[in-house]
Amino acid sequence: MLNNTSILITGGTGSFGKAFVKKVLERYPAVKRLVIFSRDELKQFEMSQRFPVSQYPALRYFIGDVRDADRLRRAMEGVNIVIHAAALKQVPAAEYNPFECIKTNIMGAQNVIEACLDTGVRRVVALSTDKAAAPINLYGATKLCSDKLFTAANNFKGARDLRFSVVRYGNVMGSRGSVIPFFLERLKTGVLPITDPAMTRFNISLQDGVDMVLWALDRAQGGEIFVPKIPSYRITDVATAIGPECEQRIVGIRPGEKIHEEMITGSDSFNTVDLGKYFAILPPAGASTLEDYCAAHGAKPVPAGYAYDSGSNIDFLTVEQLRHLIFHATDESDYNGA
C-alpha cells in the first residue's frame, strides 16, 4: 500500500512517529520518501542516529512547526500521504497556557488541512484522543475541534482525490507523560500517588496504534473517526503491577481529569457503526448514508444511546497482564517513553 509513495508525519519524533517509521521501513521497503516534520532539532538528531539516512535513504528530516503554514506547504511538495501526530497534549500545561495549545492543536490542524489541499496530498489520517469525546479540559476541547476540522475538510476538497479521516484511541502504554513511566520513576520512593481509586483508562500499545493508522489509510472513505475496541485498566491495578509493596496514596484528581475516559458518547451513537475490530463515527449526514456505509463496509449500526467508556468496558486488563506488558515488552519502542 505504501510502496512508491511519499509520506509526511507531523510530530514525527514523538512516540508514535518513531514506531510508525520503524513499521513502515520494515513493511514497505520501497517507500519513496518518509518525511519527519517536527520542531525539535535535538530529537531529530537523536532519531537520525537510530534511523540514519545512510541506511534508510527514504528518510528526510524537516524542522518545522504546524503553526507555520508556509513551511508545511514546502514540506508537503510531492507528498501523497500525511499522518498528523503533532500536538500539545499535556493537560495541566494546556490549562495554564490555553492559547498556545489552541495555536498548535486547532490552528495547526487547519494549516495541515490547507497545505494538503494546496499540494496534491491524497490521504490524511489525524491522530486524536479519548479526551476529545465530551471534553472537560482544554486539551480535549482543542482535539475535538481538530477532529471536526479534519472530518469537515472532506466537504470542500472539490474534485481532488483526497480523503481526510481521524483515529481516536486511549492512553498509549509507556508513552511520554503517561502513568506507567511516572510510576516506574516513583517506585524507588515506596509511594505511588493515586488520583482516585475508581479511576480507569483505555489502553493501547504503540504497535496497535500504528496498525490502526495503516488500516485507516487503506480503508477510510473520508470523514470517519475510527475508534478501536481495546481493553481498560484500573489505575490501582497498574500501581499494584508495578509496585506491589508500595503504598498507594490518594492525592485527588487534577483539574481537567475524568474518573473514566470516553471514546464514543451516547450522542455519537446515532452516527456510529461497528466494523468488527473498530467502530467508526460517521459525519452526521442522515440514515441513508449510514445504511450505504454499512452495506459497503460490512458494518452494522450500534444501538441508539450506546456509549463506550473505560469504566463500563467489558474488557479489563488484570494485574498479571499489566505486569507482563510493563516488564516483558518485546519492543523497547513500545515502553521506553521515547
Nearest-angstrom CA–CA distance, 272 and 85: 24
Predicted structure pTM score: 0.93
Tally of helices (H runs) and strands (E runs) in the chain: 13, 17
Whose CA is closest to 2, among 117, 85, 116, 81?
81
Q: Is the pLDDT of residue 260 over 50?
A: yes
Q: pLDDT tens across 87-144, in order? A: 999 888 999 999 999 999 999 999 999 999 999 999 999 999 999 999 999 999 999 9
Query: What pLDDT sits at residue 179?
Result: 86
Query: What pLDDT sits at residue 286?
Result: 63
Strand-pairing partners, residue 248, are: 192
Q: Using DSSP, state whether 147 is helix, strand or coil.
A: helix
CATH domain 6-169+203-229 topology: Rossmann fold (3.40.50)
Residues 6+ apart with CB under 8 A from 230: 169, 170, 202, 203, 204, 208, 315
Nearest-angstrom CA–CA distance, 137 and 9: 26
Distances (CA, A) of 209 to 112, 167, 309, 313: 21, 9, 18, 19
Query: What pLDDT sits at residue 26?
Result: 94
The domain segmentation of the chain, as residue ranges, is: 6-169+203-229
Cβ contact 245:126 at 8 Å = no
Q: pLDDT tens across 10-51, in order? A: 999 998 999 999 999 999 999 999 999 999 999 999 999 999
Query: What pLDDT sits at residue 155?
Result: 94
Nearest-angstrom CA–CA distance, 316 and 155: 38
Distances (CA, A) of 84 to 120, 187, 239, 266: 16, 34, 32, 27
- Known catalytic residues are 131
Q: Is the pLDDT of residue 330 over 50?
A: no
Sign of CA dihedral 68, 71, 75, 81: positive
Percent of the chain with pLDDT over 90: 86
Q: Is the pLDDT of residue 267 over 80?
A: yes
Whose CA is closest to 196, among 238, 236, 237?
236
Confidence of residue 287 (pLDDT cuts 50, 70, 90): low
Cβ contact 217:1 at 8 Å = yes
Average pLDDT over residues 297-326: 95
Nearest-angstrom CA–CA distance, 32 and 182: 38
Beta-strand relationship, 278-281 and 163-167: unpaired
Q: Using DSSP, state whether 135 is helix, strand or coil.
A: coil
Whose CA is closest to 335, among 259, 257, 255, 241?
241
Whose CA is closest to 165, among 226, 85, 80, 110?
226
Q: pLDDT tens across 155-191, in order? A: 999 999 999 999 999 888 877 667 888 899 999 999 9
Average pLDDT over residues 285-307: 90
Nearest-angstrom CA–CA distance, 163 and 122: 6
Percent of the chain with pLDDT over 70: 95
Query: What is the average pLDDT value for the chain, to the nearest integer?
Result: 93
Query: What pLDDT sits at residue 334?
Result: 38
Find the range with the poorest average confidence among 64-78, 121-135, 239-253, 285-299: 285-299
Quote the cell numbers at residue 255. Answer: 483539574
Nearest-angstrom CA–CA distance, 59 and 13: 12
Query: What pLDDT sits at residue 336?
Result: 36
Average pLDDT over residues 328-335: 44
The residue among 68 and 326 whose pLDDT is bigger is: 68
Annotate 212-250 with b (16+ C-beta within 10 A) or e (fewer).
Answer: bbbbbbeebebbbbbbbbbbbbbbbbbbbbbbeebeeee
Q: Is the pLDDT of residue 327 over 60?
A: yes
Distances (CA, A) of 230 to 29, 169, 171, 239, 294: 30, 9, 10, 20, 22
Instruction: Report which secondary-structure segment, H or E, holds 124.
Output: strand 123-127
Task: Find the DSSP H helices in the chain.
Answer: 15-27, 41-50, 69-75, 91-96, 98-102, 108-119, 138-152, 179-186, 206-219, 235-242, 287-297, 319-327, 332-335
Find the range with the poorest average confidence among 122-136, 215-229, 282-296: 282-296
Q: Is the pLDDT of residue 329 over 60?
A: no
